[in-house]
Amino acid sequence: MTILLDDLLNMEAEEIWKLNERPDADGLRDKAQTYYEDVNEGDELPKYIYKPTPTHLFRWSAAIENFHRIHYDLDFGLNHDRNPSILVHGSWKQSVVPQYLKDWTLPNGWPWKARFEHRAMLVPGDVLIMWGRVTSKYEKDQMGFIELEVGMKTHDGIESMPGTATVVLPLRDGPPIPYPFVPPAQD
């Protein structure tokens, strides 16, 4: 059972950090399939907790070759751009969403689509909660489609990345989800 988002947001940042539900590599390798029938409207997905540091941001800048100084040069961020600190990359936040959806649908489901907006600046010291909630579900072409509300909140409740997603889960007694996934024809 996952901890509820509202319960996490009533805790101090360091308490939230201790309740990270992000699985390690062994947990992902040995993950039992979540089937369509296991999911109900209103269910919350596990919460992935992140606490970016200046080192994380510098490494991400180097890895993706984004050398805009607002992501690693504190003096520049504060004095030139008048930001509250160095800033977490939007591209890093974008990378978290597909990982989160992929992890939840493993081993035989499929993260189909996601959309979200960047709404708040995030800085080192923020404890970030990647969350998801089931808003609806339906069957089509012997596959289970799950509609989600997703986002990334700060420890003090600011929603920095509201969005939606659709994932496909196998039916318990249905055929496997095709790989590569081909969306069903529109009605």
Q: How confident is the model at residue 67 (pLDDT cuts 50, 70, 90)?
A: confident
**Order of strands across the sheet with 143-154?**
48-50, 128-140, 143-154, 163-169, 110-116
pLDDT of residue 181: 87
Q: What is the DSSP letter of 121?
A: -
Mean pLDDT value across residues 148-177: 97
Architecture of the domain spanning 5-52+89-169: Roll (3.10)
pLDDT tens, position by position, 12-56: 999 998 999 999 999 999 999 999 999 999 999 999 999 999 999
Q: How far is it, in rounded angstroms, from Cα 19 to Cα 80?
A: 37
- Mean pLDDT within 55-68: 91
Q: Return d(Cα 49, Cα 18) in angstroms, integer.
A: 9
Residue located via tokens 């081909």? 182
**116-126: pLDDT as tens digits:** 999 999 999 99
Of 81, 183, 86, give the one whose Cα is nearest residue 140.
Answer: 183
Residues in the chain: 187
- Confidence (pLDDT) at 184: 87
Spatial separation of the C-alpha atoms in residues 132 and 45, rounded to whole Å: 5
pLDDT at 1 over 80: no
Please give the mean pLDDT across all residues of the chain.
94
pTM check: above 0.75:
yes
Structure tokens at 180: 């590569």
Is the pLDDT confidence value at 115 over 80? yes
Q: What is the pLDDT of residues 118-160, one digit of tens each?
A: 999 999 999 999 999 999 999 999 999 999 999 999 999 999 9
Residues of the chain with CATH 3.10.129.10: 5-52+89-169
